[in-house]
């Protein structure tokens, strides 16, 4: 039986590990905070104290962490993933990090005789729980063929798009649209609502119109009643937009809508919404309207 290691058992990584356990896989795992693994351990997860131990005892090791710095923290050093890799192992990084960091890491993995795939995902917590993520894979074709059946247990679509950096660029391209759609939809909803249209009516009409993408349809309930637990929070979204802007500058590209969305996410951060779902952009816009009118923000659209 193939043993799978999972490094990073947070909101997404924990659900990936849980799904693999539910599908009958032997799963080893580790996380900076062991408390996040307790439920998974009751489901059969074998706890490892370091990323290195996770990689050493696994045929395939998966990482899912927040950013470049977090990836370096689990990969580098005597207790890192790299130290636990050996010839024949496959390392799948599912984090959304910079294409540059992914390329450099793939080279280091190769120097140890192992193979790396980048496999960032499109989809939030509910999709991870349901196994309906869209997985964008990059890396050698033979390694992809070996892990493809496992990735299909985590995602409804799994597509190899080229090299590791290609996978990251496409993930950033998707998240540009995610942020811009959320901002534009919030603007339209606020316009309708301020003109006297009931929010529930506006949401129904807008999400069943030509603009009603699956993402907007799924998030409509969050615009009616913003939950405390984010599917995809402002801080993570802005991290991805900044990676996209950095990549765009490297290619000499203008990304005007990305810039505007990034500015609005900065406003949400300044308002203390960094860990709320990106649906909070509606509240952020409403707060700005109130502030311009000279009233106190916070009583705006909930």
pLDDT tens-place string over residues 239-275 = 999 999 999 999 999 999 999 999 999 999 999 999 9
Whether 13 and 130 share a structural domain: yes
Average pLDDT, the chain: 94
Same domain for 142 and 249, yes or no, is: no
Q: What is the pLDDT of residues 33-89, one digit of tens each?
A: 999 899 999 999 999 999 999 999 999 999 999 999 999 999 999 999 999 999 999
Number of folded domains that form the chain: 2
Read off the pLDDT band of 300 (50, 70, 90): very low
Confirm if 178 and 186 have CB atoms less than 8 A apart. Answer: no
Strand pairing report for 115-118 and 133-137: unpaired
Q: Flag whether 82 is in a domain.
A: yes
What distance in Å separates the CA atoms of residue 21 and residue 17, rounded to the nearest whole number? 6
Joined together, the tokens standing for residue 78 give: 């005597």
Q: Nearest 5 degrees, angle CA 40-CA 42-CA 46?
A: 65
Residues 12 and 142 in one domain: yes
For residues 201 and 175, membership in a common domain is answered with yes
Would you say residue 146 lies in a domain? yes
Report d(CA 39, CA 36) in Å as an integer.
7
CATH number where 219 lies: 1.10.1040.10
Task: Tell me: do 16 and 133 sit in the same domain.
Answer: yes
pLDDT digits (tens, 9 = 90+) for 105-135: 999 999 999 999 999 999 888 899 999 999 9
Q: 149 and 243 share a domain?
A: no
**Domain assignment present for 302:** no
Same domain membership, residue 156 and residue 36:
yes
Picking from 162, 191, 218, the residue at the C-terminal end of a domain is 162
In a domain, 139, yes or no: yes
For residue 285, being part of any structural domain is answered with yes
pTM assigned to the model: 0.90
Q: Are residues 78 and 62 in the same domain?
A: yes
Q: Are 179 and 265 in contact (CB under 8 A)?
A: yes
Radius of gyration of the chain (CA): 20
In a domain, 255, yes or no: yes
Structural domain containing residue 84: 3-162
32 and 83 fall within a common domain: yes
Whether residue 300 is contained in a domain is answered as: no
Cβ atoms 138, 163 nearer than 8 A: yes
Whether residues 252 and 133 fall in one domain: no
3-state secondary structure the chain: CCEEEEECCCCCHHHHHHHHHHCCCEEEEECCCHHHHHHHHHCCCEECCCHHHHHHCCCEEEECCCCHHHHHHHHCCCCCHHHHCCCCCEEEECCCCCHHHHHHHHHHHHHCCCEEEECCEECCHHHHHHCCEEEEEECCHHHHHHHHHHHHCCEEEEEECCCHHHHHHHHHHHHHHHHHHHHHHHHHHHHHHHCCCCHHHHHHHHHCCCCCCHHHHHHHHHHHCCCCCCCCEHHHHHHHHHHHHHHHHHCCCCCHHHHHHHHHHHHHHHCCCCCCEHHHHHHHHHHHHHHHCCCCCCCCCC
Domain's final residue, options 108, 128, 162 = 162
Indicate whether 20 belongs to any domain. yes
Q: Residue 82 maps to which CATH number?
A: 3.40.50.720
Instruction: Tell whether 173 and 137 lie within a shared domain.
Output: no
Contact 44, 67 (CB under 8 A): no
Rounded-to-integer distance, Cα 140 and Cα 62, Å = 16
- Asked if residue 141 and residue 14 are part of one domain, the reply reads yes
Which of 142, 162, 182 is the endpoint of a domain? 162
In this prediction, residue 297 carries a pLDDT of: 54
68/61 Cα distance (integer angstroms): 18
């Amino acid at each position: 039986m193939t043993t799978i290691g999972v490094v990073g058992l947070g909101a997404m990584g924990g659900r990936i590990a849980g799904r693999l356990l539910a599908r009958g896989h032997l799963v080893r795992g580790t996380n900076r905070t062991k408390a996040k693994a307790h439920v998974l351990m009751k489901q059969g997860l074998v706890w490892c104290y370091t990323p290195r131990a996770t990689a050493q005892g696994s045929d395939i090791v998966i990482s899912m962490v927040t950013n470049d710095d977090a990836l370096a923290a689990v990969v580098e050093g005597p207790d890192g993933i790299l130290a636990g890799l050996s010839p024949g192992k496959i390392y799948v990084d599912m984090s959304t990090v910079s294409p540059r960091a992914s390329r450099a890491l793939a080279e280091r993995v190769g120097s140890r005789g192992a193979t790396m795939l980048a496999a960032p995902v499109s989809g939030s917590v509910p999709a991870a729980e349901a196994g309906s993520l869209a997985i964008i894979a990059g890396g050698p074709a033979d390694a992809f063929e070996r892990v493809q059946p496992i990735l299909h247990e985590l995602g409804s679509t799994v597509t190899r798009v080229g090299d590791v950096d290609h996978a990251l660029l496409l993930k950033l391209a998707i998240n540009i649209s995610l942020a811009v759609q959320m901002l534009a939809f919030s603007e339209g909803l606020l316009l309708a609502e301020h003109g006297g249209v009931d929010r529930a009516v506006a949401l129904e009409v807008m999400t069943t119109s030509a603009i009603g993408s699956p993402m907007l349809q799924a998030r409509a309930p969050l615009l009616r009643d913003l939950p405390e637990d984010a599917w995809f929070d402002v801080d993570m979204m802005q991290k991805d937009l900044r990676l996209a802007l950095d990549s765009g500058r490297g290619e000499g590209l203008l990304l005007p809508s990305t810039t505007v969305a990034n500015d609005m996410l900065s406003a949400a951060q300044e308002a203390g919404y960094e860990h709320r779902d990106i649906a909070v952009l509606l509240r952020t816009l409403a707060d700005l309207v109130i502030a311009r009118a000279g009233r106190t923000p916070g009583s705006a659209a909930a």
